[in-house]
Amino acid sequence: MYQYDKYDQAIVDARVEEFRDQVRRRMAGEITEDQFKPLRLMNGLYLQLHAYMLRVAIPYGTLSSKQMKMLGHIARKYDRDYGHFTTRQNVQYNWIKLEDTPDILADLASVEMHAIQTSGNCIRNISSDQYAGAAADEVTDPRPWAELLRQWSTFHPEFSYLPRKFKIAVIASPEDRAAMRLHDIGIELVKKDGVLGARIFVGGGMGRTPMIAPEINPFVKADDLLSYLEACLRVYNRYGRRDNAYKARIKILIHEHGADNYRADVETEFAHVKTLDLDPPLAELERISAFFAAPAFDPNASDDVDRSDPDFAVWLDQNVKPHKAKGYAIVNIAVKPTGGIPGDATSDQIDLMADLALDYSFDELRVTHAQNIVLPHVKKSDLYAVWQKLDAAGLANANLDLVSDIIACPGLDYCSLANARSIPVAQKLSERFADLDRQRDIGELKLKISGCINACGHHHAGHIGILGVDKKGVENYQITLGGSGAEDVSIGKIMGPGFDQDGVVDAVERVIEKYREVREGDERFLDTYRRVGNDVFKEAVYG
Amino acid sequence: MADPIVSFAAFEGSNATAVRIEPGDDARVLLPHLDRLTLVEVTFPAFRDGRGYSSARILREAGYTGTLRAAGDVLVDQVPYMKRCGFDDFVPNAPLDAAVVEKLSSLYPEPYQRTVDGKVPVWKLRHG
């Protein structure tokens, strides 16, 4: 894992002091709420329906146990004893007092963490593949590149007041576990003639106008990457729309301006920017990469696992994924208990996951965009012990990637932008499909719920998506079908008229039962949908 | 008495030495004329509109050495970012608290990026 040097630490410490002063000035009335808003937002501090919400950055979703413990400590000391893991691999606290925030940031800084640029119209936390460094299919570990981008984007003076927020994801596997092409910039690391470089996609996103990012450059060399991204951002800052917040994301620029025109503008800008000596030497990427060297795996670790406990065997088959090292596995902790709130974990659960990481996973955890936690490097001989401890803490639900492994935004229970509640819909659905045998028979099904058109719950990318809207003062839920955030990326299509809260649960069930009826072989729901189309499901639901 | 500041539209074809550019104006148009310019005023009608940061940096990158002024909705917390983009003069709508500006400007020791303010980026300090 990356470790701060004196420069990194000084920057984060300075931020704490800066924000402490900004909070003091706000509380003394020296600045207005309107002036304070962009400042607090660049520290991830939102004013929600009931309280301030603080979003803490977890760069590329990677944490040490000490950092995870700090998240538990903050939940316990400053919040209501729980935290919420988000689709951006971050964590949010929902009940924060403004006057506590400088101390919270100081606590975070003590473990090399921060809340820098987790909101605001700037470059947000860089996201990545939760299996980085453990996946058998990666060409390299994407995290050193993500860390390089974290540093470059931190307090970037030219790109801190962009037309809108800006999200970057970095992956290095053909299998896309990070919804890469649904980001403002998606980067896939690839090898060309034995050399690593970045394949650049620009202009993806969800929100009210979902777009899949087109490829803008098939291969940017490592020592050109920051210059190239400077050019991408500068062109966006120049031409991105500022007349309408809903049309200000780069996807709209690419759509209106055309990918070819945008690419040509970037090339012109890059030719200039490249003369400015902005790129660190390759030695910097090498320095960072050294922190991500593979842990000391036991070469004699056995691949044998005792499957005699049937509950353990189910979890093993569903939540544990192959690791690149012999005798090791990737453990997914689904933070999706039946009837629970997706992504919410108590302080005690956070502590327990931190302990498990320290004892069994080389001191590492990951947060996934599906709001789950990963122990990336677990010895297969330890899997049963890990499972037992998770089970005792209510964290062993064997539903990874199944219908109850739901992504949901905070919705109208918390969010000031929402039109409808998301959490109760997720809870009702997970109860409706509580029978694990039935879920496993249904197979992989990504169900995603957003409480408004901003699509924080990724409904566009759901195999089944649910969008909550306000219909004349009443919560109403539309269903979309056929989306995917994976390498077979697609945007879901609206099935038909919406439903009330109980109605949408029934409708989802009818869609799924129709799938079980018409599927062929081992088709996933998504495959069946793509084969048979919308009408079959529409007919099943609306009759 | 300094020369009057002309608008971006009036600048081309004039022999003005001071020009005002608005957020939507493309600063690159000024690049052939940098020799005679002594003042470029970049306006910020609203602090959220960050196009002026790019305008400033583009001018400095091209070697402009005259006064680069940020005018309008310029707030104390934006000043350090503006300085990093090459601004060296500030005409805010509301007066800035000089003590806060000073504190903020000295808060961050070394930046991660190379820009046009001459500060050595962290990666350079690490690798020489």
Contacts with A10 from chain B: Cβ below 8 Å: 108-110
Q: Which residues of B touch A122 (CB under 8 A)?
A: none
Residue B1 has pLDDT above 80, yes or no: no
Q: Which of B61, B78, B125 sits opposite A7 (nearest CB)?
A: B125
Sheet order of strands, B89-92 included: B6-7, B18-21, B39-44, B67-72, B89-92
Contact: B81, A157; criterion CB under 8 Å? yes
Contacts of B81 in chain A (CB under 8 A): 155, 157, 160-161
CB neighbour class for A141 (10 Å; exposed up to 12, middle 13-18, buried from 19): buried
Packing angle, helices B98-107 and A6-27, rounded to 10:
160
d(CA A179, CA A458): 10
Say yes or no for a CB contact (<8 Å) between B77 and A22. Answer: yes
- CB–CB of B126 and A234 under 8 A? no
Give per-residue pLDDT as tens, B39-88.
999 999 999 999 999 999 999 999 999 999 999 999 998 999 999 999 99
3-state class of A309 per DSSP?
coil
Residue contact A157–B23, C-beta within 8 A: no
Contacting B with CB below 8 Å, chain A residues are 5, 7-8, 10-11, 14, 17-18, 21-22, 25, 30, 35, 38-39, 121, 151-152, 154-162, 234, 237-238, 242, 272, 276-278, 280-281, 283-284, 287
Q: Closest CB to A157: pick one of B51, B85, B123.
A: B85
Residue type, B54: S
The per-residue DSSP string of A129-162 comes to -TTTTT-TT-SS-SHHHHHHHHHHHTT-STTSS-
| Residue A95: HSE in the Cβ half-sphere, 13 Å Cα cutoff | 10
The band of A212, judged by pLDDT with boundaries at 50, 70 and 90, is very high
% of residues, chain A, pLDDT over 70? 100
For the stretch A22-34, pLDDT in tens is 999 999 999 898 8
Dist. CA A427–CA A342, nearest whole Å: 8
Cα–Cα distance, B122 to A155 (Å, whole number): 13
Maximal CA-CA distance, chain A: 67
A204 within 8 A of A212, measured Cβ to Cβ: yes
Q: Are the Cβ atoms of A237 and B123 closer than 8 angstroms?
A: no
Q: Is the pLDDT of residue A264 over 90?
A: yes
Band of residue A471 on the pLDDT scale cut at 50, 70, 90: very high
Q: Give the residue-averaged pLDDT of A511-524.
A: 97
Q: In angstroms, what separates the C-alpha of B30 from chain A's closest C-alpha?
A: 15
**Mode of pairing for the β-strands spanning A168-171 and A127-128:** parallel
Q: What would the mean pLDDT of A170-190 be, rounded to a whole number?
A: 98
Subunit contact B122:A151, Cβ cutoff 8 A:
yes
The pLDDT of residue B100 is above 90: no
CA–CA dist A83, A306 (Å, integer): 34
Per-residue confidence (pLDDT) for residue B2, from 0 to 100: 67
Average pLDDT, chain A: 97
Q: Could you give the count of Cα atoms lying within 13 Å of B79 in the half-sphere of its Cβ?
A: 21
Cβ-defined contact of B54 to A238 (cutoff 8 Å): yes
How much of chain A exceeds pLDDT 90, in percent? 97
The residue of chain B nearest to residue A121, with distances taken between CA atoms, is B48
Q: What is the pLDDT of residues A368-424, one digit of tens each?
A: 999 999 999 999 999 999 999 999 999 999 999 999 999 999 999 999 999 999 999
Q: SS3 of A435, please?
A: coil
Find the mean pLDDT for residues A462-487.
Answer: 97
Q: How far apart are CA A444 and CA A270, in angstroms?
A: 42
- In sequence order, the 6+-apart residues with CB closer than 8 A to the CB of A135 are A129, A173, A175, A324, A330
Q: Cα distance from A147 to chain B (closest Cα, Å)?
A: 12
Contact A152 B112 (CB under 8 A): yes
Q: Which two tokens stand for residue A174?
A: 């053909």
What is the gyration radius of the CA atoms in chain A, in angstroms? 23
Which residue of B51, B73, B78, B102 is the best one to mutate when testing the A interface, meaning the one whose CB has the most A CBs within 10 A?
A: B51
Strands A82-85 and A344-346: antiparallel
pLDDT of the residue at B79: 95
d(CA A447, CA A454): 17
Find the residue in B nearest to A13 (Cα). Answer: B108
Beta bridge partners of A92: A55, A84
- The SS3 assignment for A297 reads coil
How close is the nearest chain A Cα to the Cα of B1, in Å?
Answer: 33
Q: What is the pLDDT of residue A513?
A: 98
Span A441-462, average pLDDT: 97
| DSSP 3-state of A197 | strand
Q: How far is B17 from chain A (nearest CA, A)?
A: 25
**In Å, how far is B91's CA from the nearest CA of chain A?**
18
User: Contact B53/A157, CB-based, under 8 Å?
Assistant: yes
Element (H, E) at B82: helix B79-84
Looking at chain B, which residue has its C-alpha nearest residue A120? B48
Per-residue pLDDT at B13: 85
Q: What is the CA radius of gyration of chain B?
A: 15
H or E stretch covering A219 = strand A215-221
- Test A11 with B26 for CB contact under 8 angstroms: no
Amino acid letter, residue A249: R
How are strands ordered across the β-sheet holding A52-56? Answer: A45-47, A52-56, A91-96, A82-85, A344-346
- Max CA pair span of chain B: 48
pLDDT of residue A543: 87
* Test mutation, B31, B47, B73, B77, chain A, max A CBs within 10 A: B77
Residue A114 tokens read as 């921060």
Nearest-CA neighbor of A402 among A444, A340, A438, A353? A444
pLDDT in tens, B7-39: 999 998 899 999 999 999 999 999 999 999 999
Which residues fall within 8 angstroms of residue B58, CB to CB, at 6 or more apart? B27, B28, B31
Query: What Å distances lie between residue A367 and A129, A178, A355, CA to CA?
Result: 9, 11, 16
Question: What pLDDT is stored for residue B65 in this prediction?
Answer: 97
B63: Cβ contacts below 8 Å, ≥ 6 apart: B34
Strand order in the sheet with A127-128: A127-128, A168-171, A185-192, A195-202, A215-221
